[in-house]
Structure 1
């Protein structure tokens, strides 16, 4: 008697034209935090302590800094186009965004700031592909956070509306002090402090 091979879910076999943004809401048993990039499903992997800690602490600090009507969100995808629905690590949405229990993603025009914390498995996406997609969709600000020498460094970008690409606004190692997209003053050492035993 031979054992039957387990059946694979339908989403393992993408349609010839690729998936579309709305598919993420209708595919049964899709792993949590699945992103859609260029019509392909991208699955989340386990994250390091740096990723979780920096993201949590940044979220808490931004909550105190965002202007009235703005909200900070984690683990929410953003529809950038027909075949683009990534899930930034953190976003700040503006007052026009529709918020509610039934909302499964936000529209690109809702997002004021997209933040990615780089992990080994997401390095190319966070450094190369996602910034292009966010810029083309018109998201005005993008931050990339990386661990350098055990400390967080924040790479800050602002959208150039003439070219729809990001221009660098600096690399911050100790303190993040900005006036856009709103007044921000964060001691970066508070985002992650590794403890040794």
Structure 2
């Protein structure tokens, strides 16, 4: 974390707002704010970028009308505009889109966890996103040997883990909309990831059959 100060140790450190972010360099790093202090992350590594790109594309293909999938949107978390985060991916209602940054909770925030961001993503952002009221939070670990997705949902003001998928397992969730994701296909370079990222087709067909049979069963 980088902290901006006035240069005089007897003075209160200068509290930055989102307006100050416009003066940060365009150097590939991520500049966020924590109570008016800069929190700087290094430029994402290749696996991080690969996962983010594939996840954004897959969610975009599955999202219903009225929702947008955004890669790295800026989200201002408080009225003082001194707390600002940039999730790797977010799902936002069309009517909640704002410029230059959104001030309304997205339906989903996703962080791709890197070695240097474990504490930030699993603890700091987890509490910040919960306090802001983001209903769903995913943590993706892009481990080439055992990638994973942890799904958290907001309950009584705190996040509760509701599902997890590792490797070839499939995360099957209805929030923020029905979608299935096999973590390994967010990283694998062999085969067509677009064909496999949603898991085995047999599972899709079974789920479709179950949905079709529901009215008959209810009757």
Q: Same fold (TM over 0.5)?
A: yes
Instruction: Tell whether the 8 Å contact from 1:73 to 1:90 is kept in structure 2 after alignment.
Output: yes
Structure 2 counterpart of 1:44: 41
Larger helix percent: 2
CA RMSD of aligned residues (A): 2.2
In 1: Cα distance, 2:35 partner to 2:88 partner: 18
Larger strand percent: 1
Deviations 1:32-73 (A, max 9, x none): 531112321122213222211111111110001112110011
TM-score scaled by length of structure 2: 0.73
Task: Show the 5 A alignment for 1:107-118.
Answer: 107-109=103-105, 111-118=106-113
Runs (4+) off by over 6 Å: none
Structure 2 counterpart of 1:171: 164
Structure 1 runs not aligned, ≥5 long: 1-10
Q: CA deviation at 1:75?
A: 2.2
Structure 1 counterpart of 2:122: 127
Q: Does residue 1:13 correspond to 2:9, yes or no? A: no
Structure 2 counterpart of 1:97: 96
Structure 2 counterpart of 1:137: 132
Bigger Rg, structure 1 or 2 = 2
Task: Show the 5 A alignment for 1:20-39.
Answer: 20-25=17-22, 27=23, 29=25, 31=27, 33-39=30-36
Structure 2 runs not aligned, ≥5 long: 7-11, 191-219
